[in-house]
Amino acid sequence: MKKAFLASLFILFIGSAVGQYYLRGEIKNERGTLLEGVLIQLSSKGLNPFYSGNGGAFGIPSNLIYDTITLQLNGYEVLKTIIDTRKMQSFVLQMLPSTANQFKKKLNSITKNLNKTSISFMGLGESYSSHVENEFIDAKLFPETGLALNVDHASYSNIRRFINNQMPVPTDAVRIEEMLNYFNLNKDSSNVARPFFNCNTALTTCPWNEHSQLFFADIAAPKLNLDSIAPSNLVFLIDISGSMDKPNRLPLLQAAFKLLVENLREKDTVSLVTYGGGVDIRLYGVSGKEKTKINQAIDSLEAGGDTPGTDAIRIAYATAKRFFMRKGNNRVIIATDGDFNVGEVSEKAMEDLIGTYRLSGIYLTCLGVGMGNYKDSKLELLSKKGNGNFAYLDNLQEAEKVLVTELTQTLYSVANDAYLSINFNPEQVSYYRLIGFDNKKDALSDSTTQMEGGEVGTGHHMLAIFEITPTKQDSSLISRKIANIQINYKTPQTQQLIKQIFEAKNQVIDINTANSNYRFGTAVCMFGTLLKNSKFKSNINYDQILQLANYSYEPTDKFQKEFLVLVEKSKQLNAPSKKKKNASNN
């Protein structure tokens, strides 16, 4: 009897050792988002790695009924447990605090300890996020404020599209900080590397309010040495759905990407993923020297079908991971009108999808095109959640600006999660108002919302402008500091947190004698204030803007010259006499 029992145990052991089982399952996070690329290790397989695939699914053969599984993914807690290989498994990875923070709604600017206001939602045909304009803040109660740094400038070229088509500009399409970003004032054309941020400040009179002053913070990003710039792993993700079948959409993008291809090097790699009626990989890790092959693939694109955008995003990121360069520039460039009509189309679902890729070291650039069904809100969300930047292409000249002239600023990041903190001196400042950097209404309504830093490209200049009400002071106090400024950011390769501190002096000059870049930036701010129908527009008019811009613009800069034309067109479009005439004709 004893021998029979031992024989049975031996047979059971042999059977479990040589039998084949197939472990199947899926992996998701606590938000229900399926996770791909999770490292899976089974004790029976030693150090052999396996990974979850598209949709978080996996299947692994095992010769044991019971095995120990270990799951690892950057930004998540390691999960190790014993499993039954005969059963379908469903695992939930818990986010680390830093990862969970990525899914919170984010602010473009924030004032410490200031209560948030109630909100309402306003929708427009082209889908723009509704914003709440920054108010004047009491510096004695709330001296510290902050704002995100980035290179986004989609708002300006989109505004230009409306004005050139003699159409009114939607107020929520106006983001003044992006209008200022468009001109990249104080652009440095030299090839001298700069390892850290630099900050210059100025304090001037205010052209629309004699009781106010304007405070300028002029930020220059670190600059890479272009002669030794790292290789790039680029994935072009191009929307070829039916909505792209117009001259200002797919044909414009084809011409735009071919401009970019001309600047690729042998050490760069390009992949091309398209979506429209399905998702296709047209190029897979092709060297940048094979320009003819790349251009032929771009030329072959034709529009048609629905828009499976979320599936395409997954495949594009998987392709970028396949050719990932550890010390290189890894980036997905998505080009679309933003009309994702198949799959996870809500902003929350898109946010969850992109948030899972944020920690992968792969950046995202969004290029928007089209009109009528253009989804600005979705592309803005994608770029911010994808640790990237955002531009709108209304013509081929704009494509050349973004992908050729400013290629390095668009594609090569020198700072992640970058933001500026300003602590005003209440002895010098009674009230202050940040111009632009307005926050989304839904972000303001969320009590857990935090400010989100931005991605900054090499050599970028950014101008932030405050309107301030000075305290009453005697002349002996004029040299005292007006504010302390701190720039906070992480380095892309090491994620090391760096803080730089600057001091701003209280030395007021007349706006008419200030640096021409500050004067031109002020004209841009005034123009944006009118376009967004701001409550602070009462003392601003088009003639003031034209006068200030006319004697401050750079004559050799075609974009600054074009600004004057746009202001004049907008003046004519919004002239009271024209409005009355149109009303009488209706």
* Choice between 309 and 567, residue whose per-residue pLDDT is larger: 567
Provide the percentage of residues in the chain whose pLDDT is more than 70: 82
Average pLDDT over residues 336-345: 62
pLDDT band at 265 (very low <50, low <70, confident <90, very high): very high
What would the pLDDT profile of 182-210 be if each residue is shown by its tens digit? 998 876 666 778 899 999 999 999 999 99
Res. 121: pLDDT tops 90: no
* Among the listed residues 159, 170, 570, 572, the one whose alpha carbon sits nearest the alpha carbon of residue 581: 572
Res. 586: pLDDT tops 50: no
Average pLDDT over residues 566-575: 92
pLDDT band at 113 (very low <50, low <70, confident <90, very high): very low
State the pLDDT at residue 259: 94
CA distances from 32 to 93, 195, 332, 453, 540 (A): 10, 41, 24, 26, 50
Q: Which phi and psi angles does 459 have, rounded to 5°?
A: 75, 5
Enumerate helices (H) and strands (E) in the chain, giving the number of each: 16, 29
Label the pairing between strands 388-392 and 363-368: parallel
DSSP-based three-state secondary structure for 195: coil
d(CA 180, CA 504): 21
State the pLDDT at residue 124: 45
Provide the percentage of residues in the chain whose pLDDT is more than 90: 48
580 CB contacts (<8 Å, ≥6 apart)? none
* Among the listed residues 439, 372, 334, the one whose alpha carbon sits nearest the alpha carbon of residue 158: 372
Provide the b/e sequence for 151-183 (b: ≥16 CB within 10 Å).
Answer: bbbbbbbbbbbbbeeeeebbbbbbbbbbbbbbb
> Do 183 and 553 meet the contact criterion of CB atoms below 8 Å apart?
no
Average pLDDT, the chain: 84
| 421: β partners | 146, 486
d(CA 366, CA 89): 36
| Dihedral sign for Cα atoms in the order 453, 454, 458, 461 | negative
Using CA atoms in the order 199, 201, 206, 211, what is the torsion angle rounded to 10 degrees? Answer: 120
Res. 120: pLDDT tops 60: no
What would the pLDDT profile of 367-376 be if each residue is shown by its tens digit? 988 877 677 8
What would the pLDDT profile of 509-547 be if each residue is shown by its tens digit? 999 999 999 999 999 999 999 999 999 998 999 999 999
* Among the listed residues 271, 394, 417, the one whose alpha carbon sits nearest the alpha carbon of residue 330: 271
For Cα atoms 74, 283, 243, give the angle at the middle one, nearest 5 degrees: 90
323: burial class by Cβ within 10 Å (0-12, 13-18, 19+)?
Answer: middle
Average pLDDT over residues 271-298: 95
State the pLDDT at residue 354: 75
What would the pLDDT profile of 131-167 be if each residue is shown by its tens digit? 889 999 999 999 999 999 988 899 999 999 999 989 9
DSSP-based three-state secondary structure for 113: coil
Count CB atoms within 10 A of the CB of residue 242.
14
As a three-state string, the secondary structure of 556-586 is CCHHHHHHHHHHHHHHHHCCHHHHHHHHHHC
- Residue 402 DSSP label: I
What residue has token string 């009179």? 205
What would the pLDDT profile of 409-442 be if each residue is shown by its tens digit? 888 999 999 999 999 999 999 999 999 988 765 5
The sheet with strand 363-368 has its strands ordered as: 279-287, 269-275, 232-239, 329-336, 363-368, 388-392
Res. 122: pLDDT tops 70: no
pLDDT band at 277 (very low <50, low <70, confident <90, very high): confident
pLDDT band at 179 (very low <50, low <70, confident <90, very high): very high
State the pLDDT at residue 339: 67
Count CB atoms within 10 A of the CB of residue 512.
12
251 CB contacts (<8 Å, ≥6 apart)? none
State the pLDDT at residue 476: 54
Write down the pTM of the prediction.
Answer: 0.77
Average pLDDT over residues 37-59: 85
pLDDT band at 7 (very low <50, low <70, confident <90, very high): very low
